[in-house]
Structure 1
Amino acid sequence: MTNPSSGFVLTTTVTEGRSLDAAVSNPFVSAEDRASGADIFRRNCAACHDGSGTHAPLLDRPLRHGDSDLAIYKVVRDGIPATSMASHADLPFDDRWKVVSYIRSLQARTSATSDDNAPHLDIRVKGDDLIAPNSGQWLTYSGSLDGRRYSPLSEITKDNVPRLRVRWISQLDTDDRVLEATPLVIGGALFTSVPPAGIVAFDTISGKVIWKYDRPLPDNLPMCCGRVNRGVAVLGSTLFLGTLDGVLVAVDANTGKEVWETQVAKPSEGLTMTGAPLATSNAVVVGVAGGEFGIRGFLAAYDPASGKQLWKFNTIPGPGEPGHETWKNDAWQTGGGPTWVTGSYDPSLDLVYWGVGNPGPDYNGDVRPGDNLYTNSAVALHADTGKLAWHFQFTPHDEHDWDSNQTPILTDLTINGVKRKVICWANRNGFYYVLDRVTGEFLTGVNFVEQNWADGLDHAGRPVLSAGASTQGRLIRPGGGGTNWQNPAFDQGRGLVFVPTTEGASIFTKTDPDNVQRGEGGLFVASGAAWVSPPVRAVRALDAATGERKWEFRSPTAKDSGYGGLLATAGGLVFGASGGVLFALDSASGQELWRVPLGGETRAAPISFTVDGRQAIAIEAGRALFVFGP
């Protein structure tokens, strides 16, 4: 027997079929213990679970990490790694058991709602809905086809944002420690992709799962950066998901049943798919990943009803295609040009805009002389044919892995006294650009982080080079990039582009050209780059027309990789996340107004929508999905 004062009571002999955890019960079960546990719970746990435990799965039995008293105790004490559930080892021993007692009392008076009670879905999204989305929904990866990540909802303001609380949390069923997806919200349902190849539909009010879809994947896929998936697209009653084995899947949004699938890319050629598709009125456009594996990148469009390919645009032009002259010998065959971040669409021009990534090999351009089109470029394609309307190359002959895989922001601005249809683009190379989106003409270019690789941009926006990689190594700013794929946001009313930025320097080296070859697993990088000191992460507000910095916010919790994209709202706020913390800033000044720890790494971007007529904010962190509201 054990001493009850130890906190463990062996209630029965452990026999076959009964675990030791289940045999240990809680000695702190009196009414006084439960009342004390309720007070401890409210002070330490209610921020995520609410005081009644309804905003996270405490009331659903069996609990995922064990349903015994001891299992709950261990979770309270140790937390759950890579999730929002933090350790409470700082609590006194008796207090942890009293919390267990209170949780048990909640479970005793509450029964969980089953999936059978989930709402019946009737999802029908027309092309016109995507063009002019309902303010209470989030229908595309960027919230709108123009890539702005802006919500017109204004209930949450700088005055009341400190009062935001958790509406619900869901631990997603995945072994991956980091999520990068942007959910969609349609009607009363929230849809998110879950690595490695799944989709979950939630009731936005309760957080209950409506349905799940999972697709098995083969082993040994070519992945540079983990089992990543950044989201789904919707058109009609169908969701579209790109998978790591290069398949585009159509799933019924109302039932979770697969409708069709089609092979887009071949993993045997180094290709995968990680980005969310882009749905237009009559096509689903997808990009590919694999720039570190010697691929030949492309964009492709598919019929939403059948999965039939409508067109394909090669980002590395072959013989006879415009731009092929920028490649020598056979370098184009392994030239890179991935398209792994979702683009934008202008229905008035019927043009799709997309960013193209690095050439291959990454750091040694000696084996691929020339500008290497269309790598590190913005491309504008006719949506009905996939034909190139124009291109603009930000970093010709890149040797720094400065992908142009950023979200294009489409808007209208007055430039030099003339109203122009433009694209705003904060590029990984450290320069902020404004381009005419009708013609691709360069209008504005200015560095938004410190840089030393170019002496500036010429009249056409081409960089005037000052330094490159070498076999001995060269210190270059902005190192790993002034920004990356993490999404910017745009506030049209304030004329500000909000950019997640990185200040830092890296030493770039390259392999001798005679030794350039594919490495283990097909990697094709030809040396690399190393930060000389930890990079500094910040949110910067730029004047959309000029690129002038208006303010910056440096999060005290920012980490090397754990930062996400941004969301701007009509309430005068910018939401973002870094270092496991979700924060809200005053969009006019950059002043921090609110923050909440999420307990898991943050690489995704927040979204905003309505739940029961009230504005809500959602974000993924670690392995969890959080929904906050007033």
Structure 2
Amino acid sequence: MRGKPSTSYQRRPGRLSAETVIVALVLSATLLLGQTPSVAPSNLTEGAKVFAQRCAGCHGADARGTDRGPALAGSRRVSARSIQKLRDVIHNGIAGSGMPPFDLPAQELDALAALVHSLNAPAAENTVPGDSAAGERFFLGKGECASCHMACGKGKPIGPDISNVGRDMTVDQIREALLQPSAHVTSGYELVTVQLRDGKSIRGFARSQSNFDIRLQDLEGRFHLLQEGQISAIRDEKQSLMTPVKASPEELQDLIAYLSRLTGVKPGVPAAAHGPEGSGIDFSRILDPRPGDWPSYNGKLSGNRYSELTQINTTNVNKLLVKWVFSVPLWKQLLPDTAYFIENMRYFGLEVTPIVADGIMYVTGPHQAFALDALTGRQIWEYSRPRTPGLVGDASLGTNRGMAILRDKVFMVTDDAHLIALNRTTGKLVWEAVMPDEPQHYGSTVAPLVVKDMVIAGVSGADWGIRGFIAAYKASTGERVWRFWTIPSKGEPGYETWKGKDPVFGGGSTWLTGTYDPETDTLYWPTANPFPDSDDRDRPGDNLFTNCILALDPGTGKLKWHYQFTPHDVRDWDAAQPPVLVDARYRGQDRKLLLHADRNGFFYVLDRTNGQILLAEKFVKRLTWASGIGPDGRPQLLPEGDVSCPENATNWNSTAFSPVTRLYYVMALEKCVVKLSPGSWKTEHPQEEPGKKYLRALDIESGKVVWEKPQIGPAEGKRNTGVLATAGGVVFYGDPNGDFVAVDERDGKVLWHFPANGESKASPMTYAVGGKQFVALAVGPNIMCFGLP
């Protein structure tokens, strides 16, 4: 709105009458764009009168702009401003732009701002004429729109996803995009042709580009991650791939009506099946990963972080260099000012394990997901959403441990315990399942697990009294297939183990990713502590199915068997440690084993076909609560004293078993606590030694410590790290001081270290791209990737 403020505007030759301007603007704001429900017609009329008197001379009678002032209708810049901000601009002007302040009565300012806002209101806020059902049929059929675009899970992810176009664009902008698609090309979908040095050329979208490389999506939806040395020339085509829509006036209006109603994927509404499922990473590639891929949380569904890659080995690991760093923009997710946050923020950092398939890495942050070029760390796409207020526990910190992948989708949980599917080409939401029936104190931090055609995930919140469960969902639509409650209802097996009050909110979180055995078709999932965790006065009994490993039928969720590591837990000893599945010759027999180092201080070897205990041996030196595990599988309790050991012998981070050394590697903590009264614990008894961490290698036949590597540095807080073992003979881990370390799997001798100088709470992984092996770890807010020169 440029020009001098005036109480009377002098008519120029050829200027439209005020009445014409009013009619044009009111028609534009109501009949053509549809009436914005929040703005009364009388207010629009009043605003149009003021506009005709004050603004039309510069901005045009139809608000489309003139040579004296920019367009105010259908403006992407103006549409980003609220009514209040528009009111402030009108009242205060824009210094240096030619737009003076307008000292108008408050009623006129309000009406004028409302009118300008209505001319830029999202299409979804308007009642748009046309038959939206007919428009959808045109989109999916005759118009062939779905051959390039996805809308709420329907269509193909070649061009931009338009699931939320009704909120992102005005009606005029939608119309322009259909009729003049090259007028505004969506960022990341600029059309280019890349000429390669080998003489070939690839045409597609420059999804992201730097001075040294380009992430190119071809017209079939495949990614080409190209380096400077491969490229001869890049030609920008300066136009959209999309051609103007071919439709009758009625078909065009119906299509606009349909698009205007697209306001995003709705939580809890399964995705509609439309045509065959997308291609990509099928389950066979997750079950038996290609060399170099890391397609699930632990690399393999067995949960054993042991990689067959050997390029990095004991002879050259000392040459490792930083290859790239990707920083997750945590500033985008402001953290809450809560006591829990203040207590834990000093240990804050990513807990994600990246997954890698087809040269693309997928990582998560607080309510964020990213696709990266695994060779360079360059970002391809980002998905983010606002944090959920009012949560508790680690979910309130935005903790997220990673993603799963299947076919054309990647999956992650949200802080408020929703399971979501993103298209892996576009990063846009396909479906969103609400896992709990009621919010309560549910959260989720787990990396989902894909089994067959299902995505399986768990929940957190046991310390605040939720009723835990594991649930499976159809990967294609998000429909729930089954749910297993870790706290049984009256009449269900296990209910009798709660002798006190009805265990409606008994805890039993499921916040760590489980494992899967295809030969026995069994899903194994660990569970957390009962509620209240230390005050047991109202819950006598074993409190099933807390602190358990559950063996479930993945098709139905039915329980096959269970084993409870700590019956009637009063020390917050979640069994949320990795259940590692290993096939090995054990004590003279070929056995299917499950290896598990528990917080309670015992290392267990189970026959995973039936839950039989083959070994239970302590792996910490100080263990005061039990003398051992009896033949019946129950702990042989010792009299309680003031001091209880261990505090937590280990935690949720990854462990690994090497078939070469037949050793199981785990980060252990030697630390005790003093008990004050029911429901109250504190750390560090004055007479006790400070806690200390050790990387330990356990013989699975005897449970004895074969070697250990003491860790200098703080033992308190959430400085936990997992381990990775490789066929190169190297074990990787992050130490308490922020170093990333490689040791010899045979004796623990340090072979290499890098001072990353950040909190390491995650677990390392390894992958290969272009014939080169890399090792990656989340450190603080960064994904750090290492490789050989």
* Equivalent residue number for residue 601 of structure 2: 430
Identity over aligned residues, as a percent?
Answer: 39
Give 2:581's aligned amino acid: L
Distance 1:628-1:398 versus aligned 2 partners, 3 A rule: same
- What secondary structure does 1:354 align onto? strand
Q: Find the partner of 2:724 among 567, 575, 588.
A: 567
The range that moved more, 343-352 or 264-273, is: 264-273
Q: Measure the CA separation in 1 of the matches of 2:222 and 2:329.
A: 22
Asked whether 1:454 is paired with 2:611, we answer no
* Equivalent residue number for residue 85 of structure 1: none
State the Cα distance separating 1:478 from its structure 2 match.
0.6
* Equivalent residue number for residue 554 of structure 1: 710
State the Cα distance separating 1:118 from its structure 2 match.
7.3
1:195-594 equivalences under 5 Å are 195=366, 197-224=367-394, 226-265=397-436, 268-449=439-620, 450-468=622-640, 474-479=642-647, 481-511=648-678, 526-532=679-685, 533-557=689-713, 559-560=715-716, 561-578=718-735, 579-594=737-752
Residues 245 and 267 of structure 1 are in contact (CA less than 8 Å); yes or no, is this contact kept in structure 2?
Answer: no
Q: Measure the CA separation in 2 of the matches of 1:605 and 1:597.
A: 16
Q: Measure the CA separation in 2 of the matches of 1:608 and 1:478.
A: 32
Q: Measure the CA separation in 2 of the matches of 1:312 and 1:590.
A: 42
Distance 1:615-1:557 versus aligned 2 partners, 3 A rule: farther
* Equivalent residue number for residue 104 of structure 1: none
Q: Measure the CA separation in 2 of the matches of 1:392 and 1:113.
A: 54
- What secondary structure does 1:360 align onto? coil
* Equivalent residue number for residue 364 of structure 2: 193
In terms of fraction of residues, the more helix-rich structure is 2
State the Cα distance separating 1:562 from its structure 2 match.
1.7
Q: Deviations over 1:374-400 (max 9, x none)?
A: 111110000000000000011000010
Residues 500 and 540 of structure 2 are in contact (CA less than 8 Å); yes or no, is this contact kept in structure 1?
Answer: no
Residues 456 and 473 of structure 2 are in contact (CA less than 8 Å); yes or no, is this contact kept in structure 1?
Answer: yes
- What secondary structure does 2:478 align onto? coil
State the Cα distance separating 1:414 from its structure 2 match.
3.1
State the Cα distance separating 1:423 from its structure 2 match.
0.3
* Equivalent residue number for residue 514 of structure 1: none
State the Cα distance separating 1:559 from its structure 2 match.
4.0
* Equivalent residue number for residue 178 of structure 1: 349
- What secondary structure does 1:284 align onto? strand
Residues 118 and 203 of structure 1 are in contact (CA less than 8 Å); yes or no, is this contact kept in structure 2?
Answer: no
* Equivalent residue number for residue 164 of structure 1: 320
Q: Measure the CA separation in 1 of the matches of 2:715 and 2:740.
A: 13
Q: Measure the CA separation in 2 of the matches of 1:137 and 1:595.
A: 24
Q: Deviations over 1:89-130 (max 9, x none)?
A: xxxxxxxxxxxxxxxxxxxxx964687657864671111111
Residues 245 and 266 of structure 1 are in contact (CA less than 8 Å); yes or no, is this contact kept in structure 2?
Answer: no
Give 1:488's aligned amino acid: T
Q: Measure the CA separation in 2 of the matches of 1:397 and 1:606.
A: 33
* Equivalent residue number for residue 144 of structure 1: 300
Q: Measure the CA separation in 2 of the matches of 1:557 and 1:192.
A: 28
Give 1:510's aligned amino acid: S
Q: Deviations over 1:417-439 (max 9, x none)?
A: 22221101101100000111111
State the Cα distance separating 1:347 from its structure 2 match.
0.9
Residues 599 and 650 of structure 2 are in contact (CA less than 8 Å); yes or no, is this contact kept in structure 1?
Answer: yes
Residues 526 and 575 of structure 2 are in contact (CA less than 8 Å); yes or no, is this contact kept in structure 1?
Answer: yes
State the Cα distance separating 1:348 from its structure 2 match.
1.0
Residues 205 and 611 of structure 1 are in contact (CA less than 8 Å); yes or no, is this contact kept in structure 2?
Answer: yes
TM-score (norm 2): 0.62
* Equivalent residue number for residue 597 of structure 1: 755
Give 2:682's aligned amino acid: A
- What secondary structure does 1:502 align onto? strand
Q: Deviations over 1:218-240 (max 9, x none)?
A: 21112257321000111111111
* Equivalent residue number for residue 128 of structure 2: none
* Equivalent residue number for residue 255 of structure 2: none
State the Cα distance separating 1:188 from its structure 2 match.
1.2
Residues 596 and 605 of structure 2 are in contact (CA less than 8 Å); yes or no, is this contact kept in structure 1?
Answer: yes
Q: Measure the CA separation in 2 of the matches of 1:500 and 1:118.
A: 42
Q: Deviations over 1:59-96 (max 9, x none)?
A: xxxxxxxxxxxxxxxxxxxxxxxxxxxxxxxxxxxxxx
Q: Measure the CA separation in 1 of the matches of 2:211 and 2:305.
A: 35
Distance 1:210-1:439 versus aligned 2 partners, 3 A rule: same
TM-score (norm 1): 0.77
State the Cα distance separating 1:210 from its structure 2 match.
0.4
Q: Measure the CA separation in 1 of the matches of 2:447 and 2:676.
A: 33
Q: Measure the CA separation in 1 of the matches of 2:414 and 2:451.
A: 20
- What secondary structure does 1:361 align onto? coil
* Equivalent residue number for residue 311 of structure 2: 155
Q: Measure the CA separation in 2 of the matches of 1:416 and 1:171.
A: 47
Q: Measure the CA separation in 1 of the matches of 2:739 and 2:215.
A: 34
Q: Measure the CA separation in 2 of the matches of 1:369 and 1:542.
A: 35
Q: Deviations over 1:1-35 (max 9, x none)?
A: xxxxxxxxxxxxxxx99xxxxxxxxxxxxxxxxxx
- What secondary structure does 1:325 align onto? helix
State the Cα distance separating 1:281 from its structure 2 match.
1.2
Q: Deviations over 1:229-280 (max 9, x none)?
A: 0001111111111111110000011110111001002673211110100101
Q: Measure the CA separation in 1 of the matches of 2:657 and 2:700.
A: 8
* Equivalent residue number for residue 8 of structure 1: none
Residues 404 and 427 of structure 1 are in contact (CA less than 8 Å); yes or no, is this contact kept in structure 2?
Answer: yes
Give the greater-gyration-radius structure (CA): 2
Give 1:476's aligned amino acid: S
* Equivalent residue number for residue 787 of structure 2: 629
Q: Measure the CA separation in 2 of the matches of 1:389 and 1:529.
A: 38
Q: Find the partner of 2:282 among 119, 126, 133.
A: 126
Q: Measure the CA separation in 1 of the matches of 2:721 and 2:217.
A: 31
State the Cα distance separating 1:405 from its structure 2 match.
0.3
The range that moved more, 394-403 or 492-501, is: 492-501
Q: Deviations over 1:480-536 (max 9, x none)?
A: x1101111111122211100110011112333xxxxxxxxxxxxxx32332335321
Q: Measure the CA separation in 2 of the matches of 1:111 and 1:314.
A: 49
Distance 1:111-1:605 versus aligned 2 partners, 3 A rule: closer
Residues 412 and 422 of structure 1 are in contact (CA less than 8 Å); yes or no, is this contact kept in structure 2?
Answer: yes
Q: Measure the CA separation in 2 of the matches of 1:529 and 1:486.
A: 23
Q: Find the partner of 2:773 among 604, 615, 619.
A: 615
Q: Measure the CA separation in 1 of the matches of 2:748 and 2:469.
A: 38
- What secondary structure does 1:129 align onto? helix
- What secondary structure does 1:333 align onto? coil
Q: Which has the higher contact order (CA 8 A, sep 6+)?
A: 1
